[in-house]
Structure 1
Amino acid sequence: MSSPSCRSPTRATRSPAFKPLLDAIDLTGTVITADALHTQHAHGVYLRERGAHYIAQVKANHPGLFDCVRHLPWREITLDHHDRTRAHHRLEIRCLKTVVFAHIDCPDARQTLQVVRWRKDFTTGRFTIERVYLLTSLPPGAATGAQLAAWVRGHWKIENLLHHVRDRTFREDDSKIHVGHLPRIMAGLHNLAIGVHRQDGHTNIAAALRHTARDCRRPLTALGLPG
């Protein structure tokens, strides 16, 4: 398949904790999933040097790379995997396609993935379609379509359990805290609150926060401190 060269972002990393977080972990033979923030040349080089493979999402904040992968002839590519789930008053169908693509200037990038999600909410009647594009250093045949789909879905589960809660419940995107280390400190406190409540068995973090706020002794109890 011929295609114009696609260059990955080469700007300095915006995630200074990426390498320090992973330095103490043996990454040999692992598969690291990452969102579009980490779709960076330096991060890909680091993971491959540590013996890990990556699956990284490509979004419109990397316009050249995004245009290359989304304009591939996906309609002509054979479906590798699909699954269908029905839960929480919602039907979701996910389809995954993979294609070998050797014209991407990303460290050892071997395949491009497209995931299409059809979602029907029976409560509201709303129907949505979402297309997601990813790159991976895994060579063809190293993982089945089902394995790739499970890794991608596992990453989205983390997004829903943590980042989605931070965005919706704590409204981090609307925060006016932008000075120095304060945003990182607040993010750490939000992560702590989410982790403590999930450890206590709460699945609805917003409801758990409301419950805890009604009594000044409850936050101390949740942290295992005398009230």
Structure 2
Amino acid sequence: MTLAQIRVPEGTTETTQVKTLLAGLEIDGALVTMDAAHTCAATARHLVKDKNADYLMAVKGNREVLYAACKRLASALVSGGQTPHVVTEDDHGRIGTWTTWSTGLPPGAGVKLPHAARLAVIRRDIADLAGRPTSKETVLMVTSRAWMTSADFHTCTRGHWSIENVEHRPRDTVWREDDQQAYLGNGPRNTAALRNLALGVLAVNGITKITETVQRIGRDHDRAAPLLMLT
């Protein structure tokens, strides 16, 4: 559910607006996940020191020095004989296997990200139903939460990836947001807020068939009333 949104001022980027976005939210003790664009020292420091929360950040090539340090540690971790956490699922006509290794980050590990405590390597192997490999992806994750296990890394990282399916994807497939051509004034921001509100109402009511429900309400607006009568 979307709890807050702000407009990114012209000439800036999303990464500069983290403090503003989180200013009105109480996230004490929470684990905050984010896209790799937000993996930076300022955000890490703000979450831990100012918001008393923990972070789970993806490390990619956009942070070259940090990525190089994590990659060196990851290579040693994968080849070090640790028994990984493995999850295999058969879904959507394919077989997915997620293999996760994790390790602590001592002060001399070379990972220069404030409050970094643990590193994880997550490898996702996709095969067809006959078991023939079709793709492989490896991601590096860093967290400030010292007690994260490999299983925790797997669960929380996949939880972050699921945001695409439960929020971003419906906004495009149901309301075709990416095709909108209105960019003037507050229109796009207000429309996005209404779409987020609608998705939140559906989530609170436990509705997962979003397209079907929106189409049903579109034929009779009175059908939305029971969804809004919450106690």
Q: TM-score, normalization: structure 2?
A: 0.71
Does the residue aligned with 1:129 lie in a helix, a strand or coil? strand
1:81 aligned onto 2:88:
no
State whether residues 19 and 46 of structure 2, in contact with CA within 8 Å, keep that contact through their aligned partners in structure 1. no
Cα 1:91–1:97 shift into 2, 3 Å: same
The aligned amino acid for 1:204 is: K
State whether residues 79 and 96 of structure 1, in contact with CA within 8 Å, keep that contact through their aligned partners in structure 2. no
In 1, Cα distance between equivalents of 2:184 and 2:69: 36
Does the residue aligned with 2:99 lie in a helix, a strand or coil? strand
Partner of 2:5: none
Q: What is the RMSD computed on CA atoms of the aligned residues?
A: 3.4
Which deviations, in whole Å up to 9, do the C-alpha atoms of 1:165-192 show, x marking residues without a partner?
2244334334334345443322221111
In 2, Cα distance between equivalents of 1:146 and 1:201: 26
State whether residues 13 and 40 of structure 1, in contact with CA within 8 Å, keep that contact through their aligned partners in structure 2. no
Cα 1:69–1:210 shift into 2, 3 Å: farther
Partner of 1:193: 198
In 1, Cα distance between equivalents of 2:59 and 2:207: 33
The number of residues matched between the two structures is 208
Cα 1:76–1:126 shift into 2, 3 Å: closer
Partner of 2:3: none
Partner of 2:11: none
Identical-pair percentage: 29
1:210 aligned onto 2:211:
no
The aligned amino acid for 2:53 is: A
Does the residue aligned with 1:154 lie in a helix, a strand or coil? helix
Q: TM-score, normalization: structure 1?
A: 0.72
Cα displacement (A) at 1:145: 1.2
Unaligned runs of 5+ in 1: 1-10
Cα displacement (A) at 1:193: 1.4
Cα displacement (A) at 1:106: 1.8
Does the residue aligned with 1:104 lie in a helix, a strand or coil? coil
Cα displacement (A) at 1:44: 0.9
Cα displacement (A) at 1:67: 4.6
Q: Whose helix fraction is larger, Structure 1's or Structure 2's?
A: 2
In 2, Cα distance between equivalents of 1:144 and 1:178: 44
Q: Describe how 1:2-41 pairs up with structure 2 within 5 A.
A: 13-15=16-18, 17-22=20-25, 24-25=26-27, 27-28=28-29, 30-41=30-41
Runs of 4+ in 1 over 6 A off after TM superposition: none
Cα 1:106–1:19 shift into 2, 3 Å: same
